[in-house]
């Protein structure tokens, strides 16, 4: 094991690849806007595929556009060990959310090639389509179809703000693969990801051993009032959907604050109609995002919200309707995979701590169908889903080193 303990990835090559990928779909403030199934997403896929083929891997694509690059093992019948995350970004996203996990996996394979290491199990890297869910709700859509949570037809019919469907856009960028989605079986999956929160940096730990994740409920709310002239409509006659929106925005915050420290809640997406300076808002559509790592807290927040939002809107004379557009329960990751991550950090001498993931990840769905765990590294000021998202090369290196060792423990090195 001693010799193996010294195995390391090449941090400069990893960093160069991160910077190269960041050039595709640049944001306006130094981050990225590479939303799923846009031309930029297609460009990123082409680059990732080229890099994987250059590393001697075989590329497979399924009917949700999930990309699977495989490095052969000595036992072709052994199930592959996967490393997965996503290349799509938020509209004002950072350079590392998701990308670190995909290119960290590529760096693991490149390092195994350099070191001439063979493994019994094949090793594969996944780029999951539409992890972010910002253009097509819900988040983790394609890993969800792969894990049997959603039907493909339902996913194909999801539309963006301009009425374009997921299926049409996937076809337009030429990434409808010939593999049936969900056909692949996994020995295990590891996802390297930035923390997207402040804990690891504050505790000065370069590695987070993710034992659990938060559950999520996305509630799409429609508040209906009546458009009318902002000047000539007497106040008592108004049915202002904007007042309902303001009320439920504050209500979401109040409910989450009642359940501290185990809950979060906010509204991040709002569309108002007709959105004219001198017309009272007739309709408001928004998405409530509640999360907790405790299922009972999550369910209690959703229930209280529904009850109180209906009363609040009725009292101001507007209608309220809501439906869940995304959800998953709090995941507990596979104990053996979590142990492999912790042991890898110990073998490598990296400071580490157990942590619960605040954000949702593809690993949360894959955890339902294969042994799965996550590795986290810190990010500056805990900032993410912001173009100023930043990490150090050392943090990227630590995360990819731990990924290398966790995968080697699981894929079994074959002695030369």
Among the listed residues 40, 132, 195, 389, the single contact to ligand HGY using CB under 6 A: 132
Give the single-character DSSP code of 32: B
Closest alpha carbon to 288 in 300, 297, 275, 301? 301
- Contact flag: residue 133 with ligand HGY (CB under 6 A): yes
Between 132 and 347, CB nearer to ligand HGY: 132
Containing H/E element for 110? helix 99-115
> With CB cut-offs between 5 and 8 Å by kind, which of ligand HGY, Mn ion, none does residue 360 bind?
ligand HGY
Q: Which DSSP letter does residue 360 get?
A: -
Which C-beta is closer to ligand HGY: that of 48 or that of 136? 136
Stretch touching ligand HGY by CB under 6 A, among 37-45, 131-139, 312-320, 368-376 = 131-139
| Residues paired with 26 in a beta bridge | 32
Asked whether position 139 contacts ligand HGY by CB under 6 A, the answer is yes
Contacting range for ligand HGY; rule: CB under 6 A; set: 116-124, 126-134, 254-262, 406-414: 126-134
Among positions 208-227, residues that touch Mn ion (CB under 5 A) are none
Q: How far is the CB of 267 from ligand HGY (least distance, A)?
A: 14
Closest CA to 139 of 86, 183, 191, 182: 86
| Pairing outcome for strands 283-292 and 58-61 | unpaired
For the record, the structure tokens of 296 come out as 């009972």
In angstroms, the Cα distances linking 368 to 98, 144, 193, 218, 354 are 20, 10, 19, 20, 20
8-state DSSP, 135: S
The answer to whether 149 and 216 are in contact (CB under 8 A) is no
What number of chain residues touch ligand HGY (CB under 6 A)?
6
Which window, 129-137, 203-211, 311-319, 394-402, contacts ligand HGY (CB under 6 A)?
A: 129-137
Does position 97 interact with Mn ion (CB under 5 A)? The reply is: yes
Choose one: 27-35, 93-101, 104-112, 175-183; the region binding Mn ion (CB under 5 A): 93-101
Give which of ligand HGY, Mn ion, none residue 139 binds (C-beta under 5 to 8 Å, depending on kind): ligand HGY
Q: Decide: is 138 part of the binding site for Mn ion (CB under 5 A).
A: no
DSSP codes joined into one string, 188-231 = EEEEEEE--SSHHHHTT-SEEEEEEE-EEEEEEEEEE----BTT
**Is 197 one of the binding residues for ligand HGY (CB under 6 A)?**
no
Q: How far is CA 347 from the centre of its chain?
A: 28
Q: Which of residues 326-385 bind ligand HGY (CB under 6 A)?
A: 359-360
Question: Which of ligand HGY, Mn ion, none does residue 98 bind to, with CB < 5 to 8 Å depending on kind?
Answer: Mn ion
Nearer to ligand HGY, 80 or 360 (CB): 360
Sole binder of ligand HGY in the list 107, 131, 169, 390 (CB under 6 A): 131
Q: Which is closer to ligand HGY, CB of 139 or CB of 376? A: 139
Contact, 87 vs 66, CB < 8 A?
A: no
> Please, which residues have CB within 8 angstroms of residue 246's CB and are 6 or more apart in sequence?
none
* Binder among 94, 98, 197, 282 for Mn ion (CB under 5 A): 98
Please report, as ranges, the residues that interact with ligand HGY according to CB under 6 A. 131-133, 139, 359-360
């Amino acid at each position: 094991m001693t010799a193996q303990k010294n195995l390391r990835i090449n941090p400069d090559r990893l960093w160069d690849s991160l910077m190269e990928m960041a050039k595709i779909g640049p944001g306006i403030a130094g981050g990225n806007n590479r939303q799923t199934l846009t031309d930029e997403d297609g460009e990123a896929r082409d680059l990732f595929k080229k890099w994987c083929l250059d590393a001697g891997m075989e590329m497979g694509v399924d009917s949700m556009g999930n990309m699977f690059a495989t490095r052969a093992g000595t036992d072709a019948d052994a199930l592959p060990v996967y490393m997965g995350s996503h290349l799509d970004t938020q509209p004002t996203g950072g350079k590392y959310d998701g990308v670190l996990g995909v290119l960290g996996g590529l760096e693991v394979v490149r390092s195994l090639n350099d070191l001439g290491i063979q493994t019994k199990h094949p090793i594969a890297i996944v780029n999951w389509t539409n992890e972010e869910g910002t253009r097509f709700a819900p988040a983790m859509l394609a890993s969800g179809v792969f894990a049997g949570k959603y039907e493909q037809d339902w996913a194909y019919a999801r539309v963006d703000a301009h009425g374009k469907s997921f299926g049409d856009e996937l076809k337009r960028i030429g990434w409808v693969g010939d593999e049936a989605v969900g056909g692949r079986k996994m020995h295990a999956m590891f996802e390297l990801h930035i923390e997207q929160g402040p804990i690891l940096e504050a505790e000065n730990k370069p590695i987070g051993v993710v034992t659990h994740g938060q559950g999520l409920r996305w509630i799409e709310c429609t508040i209906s009032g009546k458009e009318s002239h902002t000047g000539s409509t007497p106040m008592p006659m108004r049915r202002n959907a904007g007042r309902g929106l303001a009320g439920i925005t504050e209500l979401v915050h109040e409910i989450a604050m009642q359940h501290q420290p185990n809950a979060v809640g906010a509204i991040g997406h709002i569309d108002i109609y007709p959105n004219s300076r001198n017309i009272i808002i007739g309709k408001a559509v928004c998405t409530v995002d509640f999360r907790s790592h405790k299922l009972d807290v999550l369910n209690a927040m959703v229930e209280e919200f529904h009850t109180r939002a209906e009363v609040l809107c009725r009292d101001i004379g507007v209608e309220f309707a809501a439906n869940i557009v995304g959800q998953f329960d709090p995941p507990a990751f596979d104990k053996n995979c979590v142990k492999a991550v912790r042991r890898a950090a110990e073998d490598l001498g990296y400071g580490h701590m157990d942590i619960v993931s605040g954000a949702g990840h593809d690993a949360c769905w894959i955890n339902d169908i294969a042994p799965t765990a996550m590795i986290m590294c810190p990010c500056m000021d805990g900032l993410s889903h912001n173009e100023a998202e930043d990490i150090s090369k050392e943090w990227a290196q630590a995360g990819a080193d731990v990924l290398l060792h966790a995968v080697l423990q699981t894929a079994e090195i074959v002695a030369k």
